[in-house]
């Protein structure tokens, strides 16, 4: 399977536009860590990919946490004495402190002010604030809006409910030849914020859509979950599934104009860490690799010491380092169709590496096989060895049953796709065979994998990859 090749058959402008359109469709919905906003969002995703929507009741213990009450909101406003809505949830859902308890009162500005949140340094922007685990109420508004409030009485209404209900999340499972899994996780709990995280949600959905059209080596599990409590809930309910996760990515904030950043898993040297670093180095100028830290998005839970899963986090500008983060300026203009499409390409490239990162055994290891007589040596004159030939020599030299194709790509400095294509040509020419452990458990029709008896099989017993 070559996912990137498939994606590149499509017009990149069109791909970017479709991703942006999906983010735009979901933008107005008021989401939170529970409630109807997240249900509506998951229902729209389910129209595009096969997905189960799961509900976990309030009060359920999940490790050290408890599923909170479910929050829903219909309306919220601050009205002046003449009935004008000065702050209106219906204009922008960031205006209400997310998870605010219901309230209906008339109060003086002095009483109201401790419950108002603004950003004095960006006086036209509305901040995004939450209070999930401490019952509170509040409004978020632009600093200029607050300065315009006169010393008077105001009618304050938050038409919300905070009652026993459910936490809702979505799970899309795409079976492959292996039961080993690739986990793609994205948070879907923020209201009208585009980069954080409609960008991750749109790209993850498109990636799953793309994968449904292919025969897969790995099985894939996409999680669309509320941040923190969603990941904790899923981990608590899936202790057995977790053992099958071989690689994972958290996708967040991947639509802004900044360069790509990859935060490594806690392990730091997992195959996913190598794969993403390789793809970024070869395909993305201005990208950077970050070491693991225990602060960030849901990789914190997947990489907690009890699980220590090989899950990293792919983003563009790093959360908290740009002023638009968690404000109304993280809007649909802040995410770019081109960047969304580019992020999807990077994800497809990473999956291509994971799917094709196999190990081979050179069947002719005593001196170089004569490539010329097999029509595999294409010198283009001069002293330079063509990259194609160079790649074949690297693959032959390092295919000792131990080095993976990604190891060979890294050592040679050549792109993975070039190394992988070289391996395919050499295998077709009978010079390589796949090592036994990398042969899929059950062959799929149209599979590229050589399931035949190999030298490695005859000399070594099967070993599960870790
Ligand atoms: Zn956030």
pLDDT tens string 193-236: 999 999 999 999 999 999 998 999 999 999 999 999 999 999 99
Q: Separation of 326 CA from ligand 1 center, angstroms?
A: 6
Helical (H) or strand (E) element with 200: helix 200-211
pLDDT tens string 279-316: 999 988 889 999 999 999 999 999 999 999 999 999 99
CB 127 within 8 A of CB 117: yes
Q: Separation of 154 CA from ligand 1 center, angstroms?
A: 31
Smallest CA-to-CA distance from 248 within 273, 215, 285 is with 273
The pLDDT of 440-449, averaged and rounded, is: 45
| Encoded tokens for 79 | 């009205």
% of the chain with per-residue pLDDT over 90:
88
User: Residue 349: which pLDDT band, with cuts at 50, 70 and 90?
Assistant: very high
Q: Separation of 20 CA from ligand 1 center, angstroms?
A: 19
Q: Separation of 298 CA from ligand 1 center, angstroms?
A: 11
Q: Separation of 128 CA from ligand 1 center, angstroms?
A: 9
Residues measured by CB to lie within 5 Å of ligand 1, the ion: 196
Q: Separation of 165 CA from ligand 1 center, angstroms?
A: 23
**pLDDT at 387 (0 to 100):** 87
For 138, counting Cβ atoms within 10 Å of its Cβ (0-12 exposed, 13-18 middle, 19+ buried), the class is buried
Statement: residue 428 has pLDDT above 50? yes
Q: Separation of 190 CA from ligand 1 center, angstroms?
A: 7
Residue that has been written with the tokens 């109060």 in this structure? 107
pLDDT tens string 139-171: 999 999 999 999 999 999 999 999 999 999 999
Q: Separation of 247 CA from ligand 1 center, angstroms?
A: 23
Q: Separation of 196 CA from ligand 1 center, angstroms?
A: 5
User: Residue 446: which pLDDT band, with cuts at 50, 70 and 90?
Assistant: very low
Q: Separation of 276 CA from ligand 1 center, angstroms?
A: 23
Statement: residue 383 has pLDDT above 70? no
Smallest CA-to-CA distance from 73 within 130, 149, 13 is with 130
Q: Separation of 135 CA from ligand 1 center, angstroms?
A: 20
Q: In whole angstroms, what is the distance from residue 100 CA to residue 94 CA?
A: 12
Q: Separation of 295 CA from ligand 1 center, angstroms?
A: 12
Statement: residue 382 has pLDDT above 60? no
pTM: 0.92
Q: Separation of 297 CA from ligand 1 center, angstroms?
A: 8
Is 1 in a helix, a strand, or coil?
coil
**pLDDT at 436 (0 to 100):** 81
The pLDDT of 348-376, averaged and rounded, is: 95
User: Residue 401: which pLDDT band, with cuts at 50, 70 and 90?
Assistant: very high
Q: Separation of 319 CA from ligand 1 center, angstroms?
A: 8
Range with the lowest mean pLDDT among 89-98, 121-130, 279-288? 279-288
């Amino acid at each position: 399977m070559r996912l990137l090749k498939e994606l590149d058959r499509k017009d990149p402008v069109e791909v970017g536009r479709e991703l942006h359109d999906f983010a735009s469709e979901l933008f107005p919905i008021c989401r939170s860590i529970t409630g109807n906003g997240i249900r509506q969002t998951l229902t729209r995703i389910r129209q595009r990919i096969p997905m189960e929507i799961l509900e976990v009741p309030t009060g359920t213990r999940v490790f050290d946490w408890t599923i909170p009450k479910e929050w829903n909101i219909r309306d919220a406003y601050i009205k002046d004495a003449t009935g004008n809505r000065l702050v209106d949830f219906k204009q922008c859902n960031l205006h209400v402190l997310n998870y605010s308890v219901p309230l209906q009162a008339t109060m003086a500005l002095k009483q109201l002010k401790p419950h108002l949140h603004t950003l004095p340094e960006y006086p036209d922007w509305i901040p995004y604030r939450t209070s999930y685990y401490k019952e509170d109420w509040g409004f978020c508004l632009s600093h200029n809006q607050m300065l315009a409030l006169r010393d008077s009485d105001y009618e304050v209404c938050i038409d919300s409910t905070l009652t026993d209900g459910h936490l809702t999340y979505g799970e899309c499972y795409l079976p492959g030849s292996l039961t080993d899994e690739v986990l793609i996780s994205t948070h879907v709990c923020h209201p009208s914020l585009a980069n954080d995280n409609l960008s991750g949600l749109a790209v993850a959905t498109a990636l799953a859509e793309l994968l449904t059209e292919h025969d897969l080596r790995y099985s894939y599990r996409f999680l669309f979950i509320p941040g923190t409590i969603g990941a904790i809930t899923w981990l608590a309910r899936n202790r057995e599934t977790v053992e099958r996760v071989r690689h994972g990515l958290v996708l967040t904030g991947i639509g802004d104009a900044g360069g790509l950043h990859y935060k490594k898993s806690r392990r730091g040297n997992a195959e996913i860490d190598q794969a993403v670093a390789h793809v970024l180095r070869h395909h993305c100028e201005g990208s950077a690799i970050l070491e693991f830290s225990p602060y960030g998005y849901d990789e914190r839970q997947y990489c907690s010491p009890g699980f220590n899963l090989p899950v990293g986090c792919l983003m563009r500008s790093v959360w908290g380092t740009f002023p638009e983060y968690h404000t109304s300026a993280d809007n649909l203009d802040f995410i770019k169709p081109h960047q969304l499409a580019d992020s999807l390409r990077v994800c497809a490239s990473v999956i291509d590496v994971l799917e094709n990162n196999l190990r081979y055994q050179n069947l002719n290891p005593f001196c170089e096989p004569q490539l010329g007589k097999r029509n595999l040596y294409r010198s283009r004159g001069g002293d330079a060895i063509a990259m194609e030939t160079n790649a074949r020599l690297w693959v032959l030299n390092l295919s000792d049953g131990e080095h993976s194709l990604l190891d060979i790509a890294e050592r040679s400095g050549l792109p993975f796709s070039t190394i992988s294509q070289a391996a395919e040509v050499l295998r077709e020419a009978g010079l390589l065979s796949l090592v036994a452990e990398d042969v899929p458990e059950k062959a799929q029709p149209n599979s590229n994998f050589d399931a035949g008896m190999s030298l490695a099989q005859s000399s070594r017993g099967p070993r599960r990859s870790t």
